[in-house]
Each structure stands twice: as structure tokens, then as C-alpha cells.
């Protein structure tokens, strides 16, 4: 699932391509909206709300999309070849004079009244890259369930919106604790700096093509995607294991020396050779 900075970049691309322009073509390739035609309407803006994209169109309509693991929005100029995937993976096309925004493999696509956006994104916590960011509320949300594992709490978009699996692993490393540590066991000084650290990481990367958390040349990330290579700080092999249940399982990376706290529970699959690759740059 993309991180909040990736979705923020997608919103900016869509906004720059469409906002203030009249749609000359709309093509919804999903049965529910097959007969919808937005041609002739002006696109007002596109914003990111956590990991959700909201494209607002004249007449009080909002196109809500979510990329999840496989979705993507691509913007093309006139005559440019569409190369985001085969045609059967296209879910929607929004075109203006000179630009076409093409949504590929979008698992969530719905057209709703702009006045009803809250029913889709109203459950989200403070957005790390949004105007509603509130670090005190974000921390209070995280601490509301002290027995919950920190890694799971960070991924819960109801607590704070924008953290995905990469930042979950990197934040826990920078805080010096394992993702399996109960939130309530996080030392008070580290808990206090968590919201600001999370915001700093996402803000630093929202304009970058390659995500970077280390500040080290040639080494972009501390632990995510690095198993079983040596930790950049201590040289111990970085480890990876699943965290979460069922469909919510996520590969989680940590250094057993630099990060204090519980290891994965007994029986958790641990992959000593990393089978995951970064695909959401």
C-alpha cells in the first residue's frame, strides 16, 4: 500500500494536469458508472486525504479513488503513448485539451456528492501532509489503546493518516523500539516526539522520486527492504517477519540489536531472506 507521500504526489500531478480545465472526455470503465459522462464540466481540484484521492468536479461531484497495492494514476500529453498497463486495466479516463489522466487497476473508484465526502474519509485521523494535522490528537489516538502493538497502531489510518509499511518500519527503527512493542510501553520521551518525527519524514520525501530516511549517501532506508543485510548502525542482520492478521499481514523489518522490545510472537513467519521489493516509489 502506498505511503502518504506517494499519494500526495499523485494528487499534485492530477491537480496540475486537470484543475481549472474543462473535461473534453470522461470514460468510466466500471459497470456502476459505465453511462456517466462528465464532459463539459470543469475540474476544481484534486487533494489527498491520507491515502485517499479526491478529485472535485463542477456540479458538486467528487471522484474518490484509492490506490491500495496495485493502483496508479498516470498523466499523458497529446499523442503520448499510454504505458501504465494494458488497456483492460484502465478503470477511468479524464481528459482535457492537451492532457489525459488515466487510472489503472484502481480497486476503489466511486463518484459521490462533494457534500458527502466525509462518509468516505471522515473516519481518518489527522493527515500528516494535510491542513488538519494535529500532533496532539494523533498522539492521543495512538495512546488510546496502550496494549496494541506500535506497528499496527501506526498503520491504523484512524489514528493518523499517511503512514504505510515503509514508514512504520523506519519510524520504529528511529525510535529504537520494535514494532511489536505495546504502545503503552513506549517511553514517554519517545512517544512525545513520534508525531513530529513522522511528519518530518513524510514532508522531507513528498517532493522526492526516491524515498530517503537515512541521510546517508547510497543508503536510502535504515531497515525496510534490507533483510538480511547488515544494519547500517550496528552491523547486525536486519530481520523481517509478518505483523498483523490475515489480509492485514505486512512484512515488517527491524534490527534486533538497535531496537528494544518484543520480537514477533511465537509462530509468526519470519523470512530471513527478504522476498519483498520496493514497488511504490
pLDDT digits (tens, 9 = 90+) for 159-200: 999 999 999 999 999 999 999 999 999 999 999 999 999 999
**Percent residues over pLDDT 70 in the chain:** 93
Q: Are residues 101 and 171 in the same domain?
A: no
Instruction: Please compute the mean of the pLDDT values over residues 219-231 and round it to a whole number.
Output: 97
Q: Are residues 146 and 115 in the same domain?
A: no
3-state secondary structure of 177: strand
Q: Are residues 204 and 228 in the same domain?
A: yes
Point out which residues pair with 182 in neighbouring strands.
149
Residue 197 in grid coordinates: 518525527
Instruction: Please compute the mean of the pLDDT values over residues 255-271 and round it to a whole number.
Output: 82
Q: Do the domain assignments include residue 127?
A: no
Cis before 228? omega within 30: yes
Show the domain range for 77: 4-121
Q: Do the domain assignments include residue 260?
A: no
3-state secondary structure of 102: strand
Q: Are residues 143 and 117 in the same domain?
A: no
Instruction: Please compute the mean of the pLDDT values over residues 45-73 and round it to a whole number.
Output: 97
Instruction: Please compute the mean of the pLDDT values over residues 43-71 and round it to a whole number.
Output: 97
Q: Do the domain assignments include residue 190?
A: yes
Q: Are residues 115 and 143 in the same domain?
A: no
Confidence grade of residue 248 (pLDDT, cut at 50, 70, 90): low
Domain closes at, from 95, 121, 147: 121
Torsion angle (degrees, nearest 10) of CA 50, 168, 194, 129: -20
Average pLDDT across the chain, whole number: 93
Confidence grade of residue 147 (pLDDT, cut at 50, 70, 90): very high
**Percent residues over pLDDT 90 in the chain:** 88
Instruction: Please compute the mean of the pLDDT values over residues 89-96 and round it to a whole number.
Output: 98
Question: What is the model's pLDDT at position 268?
Answer: 60
Q: For cell 534490527, what's the residue?
A: 255
Report the catalytic residues: 2-3, 51, 250
Give, as one character, the DSSP assignment of residue 201: H
Distance CA(200)–CA(198), nearest Å, equals: 5
Instruction: Tally the domains of the chain.
Output: 2
CATH of the domain at 143: 1.10.8.50
Query: pTM of whole model > 0.85?
Result: yes
Q: At what angle do helices 188-205 and 165-175 cross, to 10 degrees?
A: 140
Q: Are residues 230 and 165 in the same domain?
A: yes
Inform me whether the pLDDT recorded for 19 exceeds 90.
yes
Q: b/e per residue, 60-91, with b = 16+ CB within 10 A?
A: ebbbbbbbeeebbbbbbeeeeeeeeeeeebbb
Q: Are residues 160 and 238 in the same domain?
A: yes
Amino acid at each position: 500500500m502506498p505511503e502518504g507521500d506517494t499519494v500526495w504526489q499523485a494528487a499534485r500531478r492530477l491537480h496540475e494536469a486537470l484543475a481549472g480545465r474543462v473535461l473534453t472526455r470522461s470514460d468510466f470503465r466500471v459497470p456502476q458508472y459505465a453511462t456517466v459522462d462528465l464532459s463539459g464540466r470543469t475540474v476544481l481540484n484534486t487533494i489527498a486525504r491520507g491515502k485517499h484521492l479526491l478529485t472535485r468536479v463542477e456540479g458538486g461531484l467528487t471522484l474518490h479513488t484509492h490506490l491500495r497495492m496495485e493502483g496508479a494514476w498516470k498523466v499523458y500529453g497529446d499523442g503520448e503513448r499510454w504505458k501504465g498497463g494494458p488497456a483492460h486495466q484502465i478503470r477511468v479516463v479524464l481528459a482535457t485539451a492537451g492532457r489525459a489522466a488515466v487510472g489503472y487497476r484502481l480497486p476503489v473508484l466511486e463518484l459521490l456528492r462533494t457534500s458527502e465526502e466525509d462518509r468516505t474519509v471522515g473516519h481518518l485521523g489527522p493527515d500528516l501532509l494535510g491542513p488538519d494535522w494535529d500532533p496532539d490528537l494523533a498522539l492521543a489516538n495512538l495512546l488510546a489503546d496502550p496494549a496494541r502493538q506500535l506497528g499496527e497502531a501506526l498503520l491504523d489510518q484512524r489514528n493518523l493518516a499517511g503512514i504505510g509499511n515503509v514508514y512504520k518500519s523506519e519510524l520504529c527503527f528511529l525510535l529504537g523500539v520494535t514494532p511489536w512493542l505495546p504502545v503503552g510501553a513506549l517511553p514517554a520521551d519517545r512517544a512525545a516526539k513520534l508525531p513530529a518525527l513522522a511528519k518530518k519524514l513524510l514532508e522531507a520525501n513528498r517532493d522526492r522520486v526516491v524515498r530517503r530516511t537515512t541521510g546517508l549517501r547510497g543508503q536510502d532506508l535504515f531497515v525496510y527492504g534490507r533483510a538480511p543485510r547488515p544494519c547500517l548502525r550496528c552491523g547486525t542482520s536486519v530481520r523481517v517477519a509478518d505483523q498483523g492478521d490475515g489480509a492485514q499481514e505486512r512484512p515488517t523489518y527491524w534490527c534486533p540489536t538497535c531496537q528494544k522490545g518484543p520480537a514477533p510472537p511465537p509462530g509468526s513467519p519470519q523470512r530471513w531472506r527478504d522476498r519483498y521489493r520496493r514497488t511504490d516509489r
